Structure 1
Amino acid sequence: MHNYNTRAKDNIHTFRAKHEFAMKYLRLSLPHTINETPDAIKNKIYTHSLHGFIIYIKTCLLNNYSDICTLSNCYICQLN
């Protein structure tokens, strides 16, 4: 994050991993996740308490969740 008026002004700098297994490290995956989060959710950080923010995120995730599995050859669906 910086003060210059560019497109990436509000994005957190992401680092590149030299190995595939390193992409699972929180240090590398968290900035990418934060940058991909919609602005509507990121703006709630400044206007809601931590508890309210957590409830808002859970509500957004559950509203976007599909009850119908779209994975072909899904292991869980084949168990039923």
Structure 2
Amino acid sequence: MVYAGESGGVPDHQPQQQPRLLAEVRRRLRLKDYSLRTKQAYMAWIRRVILFYGKHHPREMGGDEVERFLSDRARASR
């Protein structure tokens, strides 16, 4: 019996999507067996960088952007 939304048992093969950045970071941190607090800290810092640059993907950024972000954080903590 085939229900609505099923393809009759033949799986649809969709092109493989690249994993989302934070999902990939979580996967790698889990593989490296980092502590929960370390994983949380890494994820929080990555989110901060992404939001600082208006949600631009980190792959589009270079060392200059990282340096600018860290300098801004250092000035904010004074």
TM-score (norm 1): 0.35
